[in-house]
Structure 1
Amino acid sequence: LIKQYFSGVVPGDIFTDLHRQGVIPDLLFGDNHLHFRWISSENWTYTKSFEVDKNILKFSTLLLRLKGVDTISSVVLNGVALLKTNNQFVEYVVNVGGVLAEHNQIQVHFSSPVSYAAEKSKEYERSHGHLVPPVCPPTIFNGECHPNFIRKAQYSFSWDWGPSFPTVGIWKPVDIIAFNGYFIDDISWTTERTAEFWVVHGEAQAFMDSKAATVGFDVEIESLDISRHFTYNITEKVDREKLKFDIKIPLKKVKLWWPNGQGQQKLYTIKLRAEDREISRRIGFRHVELIQDYIDAQQKDKGRHFYFKVNDRPVFLKVINHSLGIKFCS
């Protein structure tokens, strides 16, 4: 068994890493993609040595977070198997207390997505007595079979607008989260228009140290003179909590967000502050409706309308499929 090592980049993937190191040519030139299909049939390992400040190790909770792993892998830290991954579209978080040290080595061992999908298809056929279509893409695509048996970007096995590149790699950032008590990670929201108010339905994602705790934070939209404090008493032992909050804003105070060509795309800055951490995001306010009423209520066989209203104004929407042949998520 011959092992070769090349420098890689995270976020990244095996195709772009090999090209960056001059191991393979530009796969988007000519028919190069046909000559390097073997890459997707191999197993690959990403490894890195890194240091951690000893003061970080004093926190009560230490988490390793991989925001995006593509796709079938096992993760090993300092010789300890931490977890296995099988879904490109989710993040993975694992407690590394007692494993993380000042000097560390992490390895992510990737299995071939092509081989994995083929094996899962065989397992299904053996247990159910039939295949799940579509088994393979059209021959002209020069793609790989059984993408429906792996939780991975389906186009990577080929599509009508681009070649087949079933990648492996760490396509989103990796970080270590260290905290005592709790850690507010991010915020998300939806907006709702009522008769008198815009309502921001917010959600703060918090990591917990699995002990009962009181969590408090402030939410601010400075340009709208909005400032609210929220407190939560967490009585159950949880690792992760979604802390919901609502903020009402009078309709007249808000400038609306409009689609391109219909008006300005007004955005406001919303900030969440918790202890020594501040999270800042941009938020817009618009009301969208899909209209599907009958063309003629007396003659329903004429069918229905299908159009959108944005902020009570009918708008024309169109979609194009713009592909430049770039097929690497990272």
Structure 2
Amino acid sequence: MSLFAGMAMDEESVKAGKLQIANYKLGENVHLFGGAFYLCYQKGLINWLTDWNPDVLIMEANPRYIATPSAVKWMHARGRKVIGWGLGAPPSNSPHFLQKWGKRQRGVFLSQFDALISYSQRGADEYAALGFPREKIFVAHNSVAPAPTFQVSRPKFHEKPSIIFVGRLQARKRVNWLIRACAEMGSKPRLVIVGDGPEREKLELLANEIYPATEFVGAKHGAELTPYFAEADLFVLPGTGGLAVQEAMAHGLPVIVAKGDGTQDDLVRAGNGWQIPPEDYGALVQVTREALSDASRVGRMGEESLRIVTEEINIEKMVASFVRALNSLRY
């Protein structure tokens, strides 16, 4: 197995880790234009294919990656299959006449793949709506951890309600909203911010001004997170992103997350948490207050979080979906 990938842009705050199994080939991402016109050219992709000579290729199903058609043609010319992997194809906000053109072009782009893997059921439905055969679409919920095997035992509520955030401290995570929301709570919950990033200094200044009880503990990973999750009653992610949501659920926590690209839809449900509009601070305050007002309900929701990541959404299930997609190409 081999992985070809370029480095993320600095503002994405994504750090590459080391691979223990797969071969890693570092490519060069050439970023073109910006905003709605952004494109990325993956320099060296065809050279890597020539050197590695794979039997099957899985690549991001994103039309902004302009080297993708060349890679697909390279594989198909040798009688080999290509699987596209992506978030889905949400409706465009462009003017109506451009929407029709864009939808047609997206369908043409997707048609080059032999199968598709989506992060969510919403994404799978979007691919099917563009005409891609549903029997060739597989859902692999994005996961960062195996099914939990450790025992989780929680009090109904800690003496003082405790809220935790885990993630990079970036503007898009809206941790400032979480600090402001806690300042509005009559229960004055304990707020623990786990993570580091470019916004930390600003957030610490804000917390000192309006909610001095906020605790910043820095970046923690793996087993280092366990005591912080154990001391929490509720996990809150007011902005986008959030692979830590699954980790929080594995520790039996109910969750509040902002609605995003669909990857949270299957993970966060009415039984284990709340999804709030991403641009609605009032909704964050209202839902946080609601969650902190009913200890028994929060306890039940935490149990459901644990069940979901134990039985439905974890790395084992994700891998199984990839295997099904790969096996489907044999026939």
TM-score bracket, shorter-length normalisation? under 0.3
More helix by share: 2
Higher strand share: 1
Structure 2 length as normaliser, TM-score? 0.24
TM-score by length of 1: 0.25
Give the greater-gyration-radius structure (CA). 1
